[in-house]
Amino acid sequence: MNTRWKPSVTVAAIIERGGKFLLVEEHTPEGLKLNNPAGHLDPGESLVDGCAREALEETTRTFRPTELVGIYMSRFQRPAREQTDAEDITYLRFAFCGELGEVMQGRQLDTGIVRTLWLTPDEIRASAQRHRSPLVLRCMEDHLAGQRFPLDFLYTDPTVIEGQNPAQG
């Protein structure tokens, strides 16, 4: 039995334009929640590529990460419900800011995403009870405080993309 703890790696786009932040409203088991365009890192992709992909899937807009806002950990506990087990998940989130592009014609919002919306910082603070995670607010506040790290702070070894283990090659 493998008992090694493995946090779930997620990537998030912190997108600000004209004093407002782009969020998504999405269906969750807890009801409609607000979140940054975000999701799980897929096998074979870098953190930056994963963030760009998630932003496109959830907003239908291109996004080019240019800086890392921060690295965050949070824990989510969902009690057991009818026909579902309890969940205890730790998330490791890499949040990026960057350049938002245009809507990609013909794209649909990802499954579960109801809509995108632009909210002011005060509107985001006032809606904290509707956030999917406490990291929605924390990432926005860090962005507003000017917290940024260069992308070369992160390194993705080619074996991640190529899927090759150096010991095998």
Three-state SS for 19?
coil
pLDDT for the residue 113: 98
Residue 168 burial class via C-beta count within 10 angstroms: exposed 0-12, middle 13-18, buried 19 and up:
exposed
Residue 22 burial class via C-beta count within 10 angstroms: exposed 0-12, middle 13-18, buried 19 and up:
buried
Let me know: does 22 contact 15? Beta carbons within 8 Å: yes
Residue whose entry in the numeric block shows the structure tokens 């997108």 = 15
DSSP class of 120: -
- Beta strand pairing call for 38-40 and 8-13: antiparallel
pLDDT for the residue 162: 79
pLDDT for the residue 163: 64
Paired residues of 20 in beta bridges: 17
Say how far apart CA 138 and CA 144 lie, in whole Å.
10
pLDDT for the residue 169: 45
Task: Report the 10 Å Cβ neighbour count for 151.
Answer: 15
pLDDT for the residue 79: 83
Q: What is the pTM of this model?
A: 0.90
Q: Compute mean pLDDT per 10 residues along the chain, 169 residues long, and list them.
A: 85 98 95 97 96 98 98 90 84 97 96 97 98 96 98 94 61
At the topology level, CATH places domain 8-78+86-151 in: Nucleoside Triphosphate Pyrophosphohydrolase (3.90.79)
69: nearest Cα among 142, 138, 15, 16: 142
Residue whose entry in the numeric block shows the structure tokens 């592009």 = 101
